[in-house]
Structure 1
């Protein structure tokens, strides 16, 4: 099988990525949060190939990335709370789940048949350039096999998806390191569907108290809500006393074979989380370790997003 093209973060690389996307191909693109596996969101066959490449369940909707607010407004209705959030935090690590407009033109696979769509205006200049060059909204879940550790570097993408995709735009490691925060704003209140790279405290300055709704019922409203997700191959344990043979990931004054942040900085911990999990999983495999154990992280600010990923990674596997 043919390995993906590795494209530079340059005008020529962006143009090549856009050409592949317009032809229905899959391209891994950097965002400020994580690497996304992008396809033309208006092309049903291209969107289907995202699900196939990732092994992603068809009932798990995708985030659609747009270059500007005007494009977003052609796809979905923006109640006043949504407009206030977009004005405050776009472009950036925030996804809004909003009612679809008639004639939106998106593949029904993007929304998993729901009457809503998850929209994001990313800040990464490479993603912005490819969006403008392609001229179409791009569906782009994280560029890794479904349920496994998220990709925050081109090497992670290559190891996880390899020849199942056409190309990777190499812009180095992602700045934020955890996926976007997902909100469902409405006049009756704003629901938090996923903690992410935008801390609750900043959002609540705009919205007032959020309504946490991160564990769905029978229907997934947004990505990242499955109970088992982000998982390494080795069992993951949170807190407690390390046992012989385990691979340990520390934080702050808690030591480990690896550390999320030696200074206890939550932004650094978010940025290094998935890279640490990838490295720990490789060590666990090489040493036949019984488990990976991660130090406890404060449940505040970006710590909520980190803990959300760790709890889902530690959940019983389906």
Structure 2
């Protein structure tokens, strides 16, 4: 199969392929998604097959407007209107109880709930509208690996496996949407996956919000994507460096003593300081969690393609957007953190 790259004026062609059951990757403000007709079970099964995705991992359904959601959900929690009015289109996914048989179990992962999102990307909203159907849209990459933030990342992973990619340049946020579960029995919404829409922003609109802190084991069925203990991982092992230049220096010395070739993902000050001592660097520029988040997956992918044995990635405080950044980085690193002196012994 030849994978075609579609431009904005070729969306009719891409929509036709979706209606025919083909897979088309699409851009969002977060990462690129792998699109298929959410009402076509065979097409959805192909998404799992192409990604190598576990079949118990539910999919997010992407819509072009809130009216599309109303076709599949009978009763909406009281917070819904305020959330949709404030954050859609945008990087917020909402989990609702759906009507019986609204979607196949290939979409729901066998659950009675479905996650919906209206992405903030004009081309993708047009694509969904022209297609006339909601689209599943997990990240358009090999399952478990860093998510794609450019069309080139998608092509690298999925060329020859999907019909096409709608190319709209690099994504703006760089990590997947916040997933908010609105189906808790006590009525308190729960963040299952942190993202750019933070707990603080949500609480300004709807009041109390909880965060699900537990890590999903390989044997558990997640209620939303990205909840597994290890995820977003390159082939090269990743270690988080939580500290200043002294801690980076100790980490580099520790790796060299173990004959490890080193890649750094860090700000421009750290990468400039240690560039002569390591084999590869990827600078996200100024010391900014926004920049680090936007370039995290691109940086991990770039370093993974170089001749190194370990990646050291810079930590940020776990507050606001830093929660989403560290959530992804900890899973990429399988929770391995280098901090202070204790672990260098």
Question: Normalization by structure 2: what TM-score?
Answer: 0.85
Over alpha carbons, which structure has the higher Rg?
Answer: 2
Q: Which runs of 4+ in 1 moved over 6 A?
A: none
Counterpart Cα distance in 2 of 1:272 and 1:108 = 34
Q: Report the count of equivalent residues.
A: 308
Please show how residues 1-318 of structure 1 align to structure 2 within 5 Å.
Answer: 2-10=1-9, 13-76=10-73, 77-102=75-100, 104=102, 106-186=103-183, 188-214=187-213, 215-216=215-216, 218-239=220-241, 240=247, 241-242=251-252, 243-244=255-256, 245-251=261-267, 253-255=269-271, 257-260=281-284, 262-283=285-306, 287=307, 289-315=308-334
- How far is the alpha carbon of 1:316 from its aligned partner? 7.6
8 Å CA contact retained: 2:194, 2:323: yes
Counterpart Cα distance in 2 of 1:251 and 1:21 = 40
Question: Normalization by structure 1: what TM-score?
Answer: 0.92
Counterpart Cα distance in 1 of 2:229 and 2:107 = 21
8 Å CA contact retained: 1:192, 1:210: yes
8 Å CA contact retained: 2:216, 2:229: no
Give the aligned CA root-mean-square deviation in angstroms: 1.7
- How far is the alpha carbon of 1:85 from its aligned partner? 1.3
- How far is the alpha carbon of 1:88 from its aligned partner? 1.2
8 Å CA contact retained: 1:148, 1:229: yes
Q: Deviations over 1:157-201 (max 9, x none)?
A: 011111110101111111111100000125621101001122222
Counterpart Cα distance in 2 of 1:224 and 1:281 = 20
- How far is the alpha carbon of 1:210 from its aligned partner? 2.3
Q: Deviations over 1:263-316 (max 9, x none)?
A: 222222221111111111112xxx2x2200101112122111111111111118
Q: Deviations over 1:68-116 (max 9, x none)?
A: 1111122123211122211210110000011002463x23211111000
Inter-CA distance 126–310: structure 2 relative to 1 (3 Å threshold): same
Q: Counterpart in 1 of 2:342?
A: none
- How far is the alpha carbon of 1:3 from its aligned partner? 2.9
- How far is the alpha carbon of 1:52 from its aligned partner? 0.2
Structure 1 unaligned residues grouped into runs of 5+? none
Counterpart Cα distance in 2 of 1:220 and 1:126 = 30
**Secondary structure of 2:133 counterpart:** coil
**Secondary structure of 2:96 counterpart:** strand
Counterpart Cα distance in 2 of 1:17 and 1:270 = 30
- How far is the alpha carbon of 1:127 from its aligned partner? 0.6
Counterpart Cα distance in 1 of 2:211 and 2:101 = 31
